[in-house]
Structure 1
Amino acid sequence: MGINILQLGQYAFDIYYWMIIIAIFGSWFPGFQTSKVGQGIGKLVEPYLGFFRKFIPPLGPIDFSPIIALFVFHYLSSFALEGLNQSLNFLGI
Structure 2
Amino acid sequence: MTSIFQILMLLLSIAKFFIFAHFIMSWLISFQVLNVRQPFVYQIWSGLNRLLEPIYGPIRRVLPSMGGLDLSPLVALIGIYIIEIVLRNNAGLFLGY
Task: Give the deviation of 1:70 after TM superposition.
Answer: 1.2
Aligned CA-pair RMSD:
2.5
Q: Letter of the 1:12 partner, please give it.
A: L
| Count, aligned residues | 86
Query: Per-residue displacement from partner, 1:16-43 (whole Å, max 9, x unpaired)?
Result: 11101112222331628x6222222222
Give the aligned partner of residue 21 of structure 2: 22
Cα distance 1:49–1:81, how it changes in 2: closer, same or farther (>3 A)?
farther
Q: Which consecutive residues of structure 2, in runs of 5 or more, have no partner in the other structure?
A: 30-34
Q: Which has the higher contact order (CA 8 A, sep 6+)?
A: 2
Q: Which runs of 5+ in 1 are unaligned?
A: none
Provide the residue aligned with 2:57 in structure 1: 50
Paired letter, 2:48: I
1:17 partner letter: K
Q: Distance in 2 between matches of 1:40 and 1:58?
A: 25
Correspondence for 1:87: 93
CA distance 1:40–1:80, shift in 2 (3 Å): farther
Compared with structure 1, are the counterparts of its residues 42 and 80 closer, same or farther at alpha carbon in structure 2 (3 Å cutoff)? farther
Determine what percentage of the aligned residue pairs are the same residue: 21
CA 1:81 to 1:39, structure 2 compared with 1: closer, same or farther past 3 Å? farther
